[in-house]
């Protein structure tokens, strides 16, 4: 079962949050952001998450809350917000109508480009550069989704409750890295390598990570062959693996 509230947190912080990385990795994305002044879009979901994405000078960043947004997009429920992500709901701004052109001409094409990398055509994946960028973006989305599931999904919360305080390093060898920080049963993802992890999980290559993300190979088998390296407190990794199983369900 998929919980719509959990999915809303994933869609906002993990999926739309990956726009930050898209603009860093893909020149086509940063080239879209030609606005001379920063423009910020706030997403406010009733009984759910809220965050503001600021676009400026070829880059974007996400912050929690909507107190300082130029455009506010309110959603009456988590289901409505999830409809924005799957293309079935068109939001109406409650603030910032003068920036409608930016929403239609810049933000929408930017999210379309993100979808191209997140749900790629198999033909595009034959291009090495596209493959690496697509997999890197998926990695960051999954890393953030882990924490959203741990904090909001009932089954995920059970796993998170069994993770002791500390940091888990989560990475692809010679590739992207993230930190999963646990404190009192709640997790937060930081999109950079952990300096002092209590446990670590590393995929041997970007190709292996892709196969795992796509469900083409079994994680347990990879651990057995050493294709996935685990270090430190194994109980932390065991529960991280359980959360990863939930991520696959939500991002399928």
Check which CATH number belongs to the domain holding 8 and give it. 3.30.1050
Mean pLDDT value across the chain: 94
Q: Whole-angstrom Cα distance, residue 172 to residue 143?
A: 11
Provide, rounded to the nearest whole percent, the portion of the chain with pLDDT above 70.
99
Stretch 36-40: mean pLDDT, rounded?
90
Assess whether 104 and 145 both reside in one domain: no
Considering its fold, how many domains does the chain have in total? 2
Q: Measured on CA atoms in the order 114, 118, 122, 125, is the torsion positive or negative?
A: positive
Assess whether 63 and 111 both reside in one domain: yes
Q: With bands split at pLDDT 50, 70 and 90, how would you rate the model's confidence at 216?
A: confident
Assess whether 46 and 81 both reside in one domain: yes
Is the pLDDT assigned to residue 4 strictly greater than 70? yes
Q: What is the pLDDT of residues 181-213, one digit of tens each?
A: 999 999 999 999 999 999 999 999 999 999 988
- Cβ burial of 156 (10 Å; 0-12, 13-18, 19+) is buried
Residue bearing tokens 């796993």:
159
Domain region containing 25: 4-118
Assess whether 247 and 129 both reside in one domain: yes
Q: With bands split at pLDDT 50, 70 and 90, how would you rate the model's confidence at 222?
A: confident
Stretch 137-150: mean pLDDT, rounded?
98
Is the pLDDT assigned to residue 220 strictly greater than 70? no
The SS3 assignment for 121 reads coil
> What size, in residues, is the chain?
252
Assess whether 36 and 71 both reside in one domain: yes
Q: Please give the pLDDT value at position 23.
A: 97
Is the pLDDT assigned to residue 50 strictly greater than 90? yes
Is the pLDDT assigned to residue 19 strictly greater than 90? yes
Q: Measured on CA atoms in the order 222, 227, 228, 232, is the torsion positive or negative?
A: positive
- Give the end of a domain, one of 71, 101, 118: 118
Identify the H or E element spanning 79. Answer: helix 78-86
168, 138 Cβ separation under 8 angstroms: no
Q: Whole-angstrom Cα distance, residue 91 to residue 185?
A: 34
Is the pLDDT assigned to residue 226 strictly greater than 80? no
Please name every residue paired with 73 in a beta bridge, in sequence order, or none if there are none: 43
Distances (CA, A) of 87 to 16, 35, 41, 80, 84: 14, 25, 18, 10, 5
Q: Please give the pLDDT value at position 225.
A: 76
The 8-class DSSP code of residue 69 comes to -
């Amino acid at each position: 079962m998929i919980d719509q509230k959990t999915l809303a947190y994933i869609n906002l912080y993990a999926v739309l949050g990956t726009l930050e990385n898209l603009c860093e990795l893909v020149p086509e994305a940063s080239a879209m952001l030609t606005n001379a002044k920063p423009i910020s879009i706030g997403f406010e979901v009733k009984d759910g998450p809220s965050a503001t994405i600021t676009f400026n000078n070829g880059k974007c960043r996400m912050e929690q809350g909507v107190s300082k947004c130029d455009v506010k997009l309110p959603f009456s429920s988590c289901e409505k917000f999830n409809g924005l992500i799957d293309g079935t709901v068109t939001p109406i701004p409650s603030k910032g109508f003068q920036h409608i052109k930016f929403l239609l001409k810049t933000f929408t094409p930017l999210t379309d480009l993100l979808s191209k990398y997140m749900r790629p055509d198999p033909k595009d994946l034959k291009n090495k550069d596209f493959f690496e960028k697509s997999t890197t973006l998926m990695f960051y989305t999954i890393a953030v989704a882990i924490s959203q599931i741990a904090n909001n999904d009932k089954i995920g919360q059970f796993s998170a409750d069994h993770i002791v305080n500390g940091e888990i390093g989560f990475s692809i060898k010679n590739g992207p890295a993230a930190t999963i920080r646990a404190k009192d049963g709640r997790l937060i993802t930081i999109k950079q390598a952990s300096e002092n992890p209590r446990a670590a999980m590393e995929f041997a290559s970007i190709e292996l990570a892709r196969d795992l993300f796509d469900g083409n190979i079994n994680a347990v088998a990879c651990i057995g062959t050493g294709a996935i390296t685990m270090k430190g407190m194994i109980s932390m990794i065991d529960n991280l693996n359980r959360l990863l199983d939930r991520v696959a369900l939500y991002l399928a």
